[in-house]
Amino acid sequence: MPRKDGRVIMLADCQSFYASVEKSAHPEYRDRPLVVAGDPARRSGIILAACPLAKSYGITTAERLGEALAKCPDVVVIRPRMAEYIRVSLHITRILQSYTDLVEPYSIDEQFLDVTGSLDLFGSPETIARSIQDRVMEETGVYIRVGISDTKVVSKMACDLYAKKVPGGIYTLPRKDMQKTLWDKPVRDMFMVGSRMGQHLYKMGIHTIGDLAQTPLSRLRERWGVNGEVLWRIARGIDDSPVKPGTYAHQQQGIGHQMTLPRDYESWADIKVVLLELAELVSRRSRDKSLMGNVVSVGCRGQDYDRPTGFSRQMKVNEPTNITDEVYDAAAALFLRHWDGLPIRRISVSLTGLVPDSEVQLSWFDDRERKRELERATDDIKRKFGDTAIMRASSLCSSAQAQDRSHKIGGHYK
């Protein structure tokens, strides 16, 4: 157990979050395998979440719904309800905040807590974790697993590698015990190491977390710079970062939006419609945050992920902007310059190099301020009456997606 005079950090993780919310809402499915997937009516899309019973059939997150149905034809398929998942996530946040004011959301289903100052009031870390489990289950029907340690990165690994696998769903891993507990684990199991990074480390002769921890820091910095030091510090459990209440772990560096298309788009006439809709979404979100961007990026992918096609390119604009037409013009120019003419199934637009929109360079020779006022007015209408209250005529084309996406959050149905 972490020493009482040191930090006590927890990572609370919701098991199969979307599926758990749906099983709580539909008790008739309690003993049936259940998945949450893109579009059950079309029997298409990918698996966003699978309950433990569905996973016992070999169903995995991110596989195609058709593949899941082949493994388990009787699986219950539920369309995602993102607004409900956000509501439940916020409810869980409020439960955690009743134990400490130091709660930091890491994702919609994971949150860090610093309970160092709460031990005298609520008891030992394990007692607090069990109390959290009981309350979350009672109030939401969601099962929580909890990793406990001295730092955020070790509590994350305690949760992922142990709490998710042990009876009771709670595991304490003090940083001082990492050498005998974690160092013999494969390096691919370490937090922040994906499959590609794992391959690079294997080629360097680094096969376990212990191998990485004992690799000379100079060798890692020479290979990956500061990222090499980050990996070395994680392997040793070194993490002084505080739990920051009310913030997400990853600070926003840009504003972007991507869209998976319902079919292959092969013509510029179809593509430019959704490109304009994306530019409008990104520009509106930028205006809502009182930000502008110096760099416009556009990217696309084909349907075949085994033989990927597409590109991702960016360009600096003359002046920071959050005006739809300007973002679209830059995105369209980039797309036409780099598109090879092959069909696309996914497309994205983003703004980076963000600056506040409080300072704008005025000019006698353009009508940018009039455009800003016009877009602020349309933003107000959409905010009050909905996204489809006012639309561009192009969004009535068969290739447009604005009307369909107005019923969704993050690309999934509300």
Q: Which residues are annotated as a binding site?
A: 13, 109
Q: Which residues are annotated as a binding site for Mg(2+)?
A: 13, 109
Cα–Cα distance, 207 to 201 (Å, whole number): 7
Count, in order, helices (H) and strands (E) of the chain.
16, 14
Identify the residue whose tokens are 């969004």: 395
Cα torsion 41, 46, 51, 54: sign: positive
Paired tokens of 287? 């205006």
For residues 2 and 150, the answer to whether their CB atoms sit within 8 Å is yes
The separation between CA 15 and the C-alpha centre of its own chain, rounded to angstroms, equals 16
The yes-or-no answer on residue 110 being catalytic is yes
From the list 224, 226, 147, the residue with the least C-alpha distance to 191 is 147
DSSP label at residue 241: P
Secondary structure class of 128 (helix, strand, coil):
helix
Expressed in angstroms, the distance from the first to the final Cα of the chain is 41
Structure tokens given for 205: 């002769």
| Alpha carbon distance 187, 172 (integer Å) | 20
Give the list of residues 6+ apart from residue 230 with CB closer than 8 angstroms, or none.
192
Torsion region of 374: left, alpha or beta (phi above 0 gives left; psi -120 to 50 gives alpha) = alpha
Specify the amino acid at residue 294: N
**Largest Cα span, the chain:** 70
Bridging pattern class, strands 144-149 and 170-172: parallel
Are 68 and 74 contacting, i.e. CB atoms less than 8 angstroms apart?
no
Tell me whether residue 377 is exposed, middle or buried, using C-beta atoms within 10 angstroms of its C-beta: 0 to 12, 13 to 18, 19 or more. exposed
Tokens 């409810």 correspond to what residue? 91
Q: Which of 110, 277, 280, 326 is an active site residue?
A: 110
Compute the chain's Rg from CA coordinates.
Answer: 24
- With both helix axes pointing from N to C terminus, report the angle between 324-338 and 268-288 in degrees, rounded to the nearest 10: 140
- The set of catalytic residues is 110
